[in-house]
Amino acid sequence: MRSHHARAATALDILTEQGGEFWGWAGRTLGAPARTAAGAPAWLGLVSAPEAKASGNLWEGALDAQRAFGDLDGHRPALLGAHDAVDDGTTYRAELSARLDQPVLSDDPILQHDLQLPDFWWADIAGVLEKVSPGRHRPDRRTAAVHGPGHPRVPRHPGPGRALLDHSPC
């Protein structure tokens, strides 16, 4: 992964910053802070997948989001470039994004404490949600699935102490 990350950095004409490497789930992703040729802060992320599985929303999501929404007036890191490579049956996609100059709200995907966010933050997020709402033009063709009672994954009568949704894989 490191060698493919380095090749992607060369292909995208950027320099990664030392000491900031972050590995993702099962070693399938690798990211690091970087600088563009002009010196702008950026982030270079690399994901790998078997060649036959390198497609669909998970693979194309960042490119689709950039085409559909841009940087959402600075609320989403702009995608600056992408680079694909294939090596011995594995596909690698590198995505170069602008690095936002905003503090991290949580270093955990599950919030561990209440965030003390200012009122303007809520107004900003409401504006962003309006821009990405389903009623607007959606060239990405994504569909949200809502499972209600009667669906095999949702019990009709969960009963006391049972979760309403099961967590079996989709």
- Does the pLDDT of residue 159 top 70, yes or no? no
Distance CA 30, CA 21 (A): 7
Q: Give which of 129, 32, 14 is closest to 73, Cα–Cα.
A: 129
Side chain identity at residue 47, one-letter code: V
Distance CA 31, CA 94 (A): 9
Provide the residue ranges of all domains of the chain, joining segments of one domain with +. 2-100
2-100 topology per CATH: Phosphorylase Kinase; domain 1 (3.30.200)
| Residue 133, pLDDT score | 81
Confidence band for 13, pLDDT divided at 50, 70 and 90 = very high
Q: Give which of 28, 29, 95 is closest to 63, Cα–Cα.
A: 95
End-to-end CA distance of the chain: 28
| Residue 117, pLDDT score | 87
The mean pLDDT value for 6-21 works out to: 94
- Does the pLDDT of residue 163 top 80, yes or no? no
> Tell me: the pLDDT tens digits for 39-91?
999 999 999 999 999 998 778 989 998 998 888 888 889 999 999 999 999 99
CB of 91 closer than 8 Å to CB of 54: yes
CB of 121 closer than 8 Å to CB of 129: no
> Tell me: the pLDDT tens digits for 80-133?
999 999 999 999 999 999 998 777 788 888 888 888 888 888 888 888 888 888
